[in-house]
A and B are shown apart, each in its own frame.
Chain A
Amino acid sequence: MTPFVDVAFLILSFFMLATKFKPPAPITITTPHSVSSDKLKEEDAVLVEFDSVGHVYFTMNTKKTSDNNLKLDLIRAVNSNRNLGLNDAEMKSFMNYTTVGSPFAEIKSLLDMPKDQRDKVKQKGIPVDSTNNELATWIGAAKVAFQGHTVLYMIKGDDNATYPTFKGVIDALKKNDEYKYKLITDPKAVPAGTELYTKRESGKKDEE
């Protein structure tokens, strides 16, 4: 039995070291699959997520923790742009946890909540309609706050979300003159016999 137990503990230590815990997400999103081979990197990024019913969430990620004050810059800008009337504590709450998914009218009450409660509360999503695209304001403010940084604009959508939500998100980015996005997907194998397959087999790199 001893060798058996040895192997078992080896596997145990492997999993313990290899495990990266999923960060708690306020929403569950099943991403579509793509053949893309680029791995998701930790960078300065604006992450826009939308779930199956089309609720849009905004998150600002900074690579270095020292850049955390940029988040404060962002919420200050949004606060003065839209007259949200946030106080310092509420802005600090945003800095600690930037994921928001509420219209501007409800941001204040959302940021009043403690962090763990914010995850539980049902948010209505940031409006992305063509008439009232609040996401554009968020992205615009993030762009200003991130000035001088290389920023990735990442979109993470649910399989079952409909196209208008995606279009609304793209429109918000376009309004801010951002045309390059990264869609977060799950990897899948390239179908055999296709052009991409032969290309990858021959060792050529994908185009930029």
Chain B
Amino acid sequence: MADIDVSGGDSGHKKGPGVKKAKKLSTRVDMTPMVDLGFLLITFFIFTTTMSTPSTMKLYMPKDEKDPKNQTEVKQSGALTILLGKGNGIYYYEGQLKEDGSNFKSSTYKEIRDVIIKKKKDVMEMGKAQGYPKDTLDKDFMVIIKPNTEATYKNTVDILDEMTINQVHRFALVDITDDENKLVKATEASNGIK
């Protein structure tokens, strides 16, 4: 009669036979889109990355010397002059250039190393004969590099690099003379380099 229905408000708590338990959802998320994005980023970074930092190559130039008295003297026997022309042309002569140009030879950037090595060896043997101390045997060895106006910057750097590779301690970057340039041009013409 005066019954208070206690159960009335709480009836939801009672799990009757008809009420289903909440289903346990799987916590696994579909990772495919994330992985896709991940690979996209990898490709992006791989392409934009600059892996090798540039290196620097030292180049020390001498002061321009107007006075011929103070200019460096080069022994003829120890001098090797390398001329750079267009189309990756490279020419050389030993000592002084003969009037008829008979000691003027053509070479390539691959073969020039052997030329330098051979000349260095020769000069060192001469130094031995002269009785130079052991660590300055190549004292008389001097490479003179003369690029003409059509040689590229790459040619110049390549040949300077060759000096480092072959441990040539004395070398100079000098302007080409007219006679030499004419010889280079003539050789280029006969070899058909345009």
Which residues of A line the B interface, CB within 8 A? 5, 8-9, 11-12, 15-16, 18-22, 31-40, 50, 154-155, 157-167, 170, 174, 177, 179-187, 190-191, 194-197, 199, 206
- Count class of interface residues, chain B: 35 or more
CB distance from A42 to the nearest CB of B (A): 11
Contact status of A196 and B167, CB under 8 A, knowing A9-B38, A159-B152, A160-B154: yes
Query: Are B49's CB and A19's CB within 8 A?
Result: yes
Please state if B156 and A166 are interface contacts (CB–CB under 8 Å). Answer: yes
* Contact with B84, one of A39, A163, A195, A199 (Cβ below 8 angstroms): A163
- Among residues of A, the one whose C-beta sits closest to the C-beta of B175 is A167
Q: A185 near B56 (CB under 8 angstroms)?
A: yes
Q: Is the interface of B mostly helix, strand, loop or mixed?
A: mixed
Whether, in the assembled complex, B164 has its beta carbon less than 8 Å from a beta carbon of chain A, the answer is yes
**From residue A179, how far is it (CB to closest CB) to chain B in Å?**
5
Shortest distance between the CB of A138 and any CB in chain B (Å): 19
Other A-B pairs beyond A8-B42, A179-B63, A191-B113, 7, CB < 8 Å: A8-B38, A18-B49, A20-B49, A183-B57, A185-B54, A191-B165, A194-B165
| Interchain nearest-CB distance for A128 vs B (Å) | 13
The one of B42, B155, B157 in contact with A15, judged by C-beta atoms closer than 8 angstroms, is: B42
Q: Determine how close the nearest CB of chain A comes to the CB of B136; give it in whole angstroms.
A: 14
The answer on a CB contact under 8 Å between A182 and B46 is no
B42 near A11: Cβ-Cβ < 8 Å: yes
Q: Are A182 and B153 in contact (CB under 8 A)?
A: no
Q: Say yes or no: is B147 at the interface (Cβ < 8 Å to chain A).
A: yes
**Contacts A15-B45, A36-B57, A36-B164 known; A5 to B31 CB distance under 8 Å?**
yes
Name B117-166 residues within 8 Å CB distance of A: 117, 147-158, 160-161, 164-166
Most chain B CB atoms below 10 A, which of A50, A161, A181, A183: A183
In the complex the two chains form, is A174's CB within 8 Å of B61's CB? yes
B56→A40 contact, CB < 8 A:
yes
Once A161-B152, A163-B149, A195-B165 are accepted as A-B contacts, the answer to whether A34 and B45 lie under 8 Å apart by CB is no
Residues of B within 8 A of A195 (CB): 117, 165-167
Residue of B48, B113, B153, B155 touching A19 (CB-CB under 8 A): B48
Whether A196 pairs with B166 at a CB distance below 8 angstroms is: yes
Q: Contact at A174–B64, with CB atoms within 8 Å?
A: yes
Interface centre among B50, B55, B165, B167 (most CB of A within 10 A): B55
* Choice from B31, B59, B147, B166 contacting A181 with Cβ under 8 Å: B59
A20 to B49 alpha-carbon distance, docked (Å)? 7
Contact check, A38 vs B165: say whether CB atoms are below 8 A apart: no
B45 nearest CB neighbor, chain A only? A15
Report the minimum CB–CB distance from B41 to chain A (whole Å). Answer: 5
Return A67 CB to nearest CB of chain B, in Å.
21
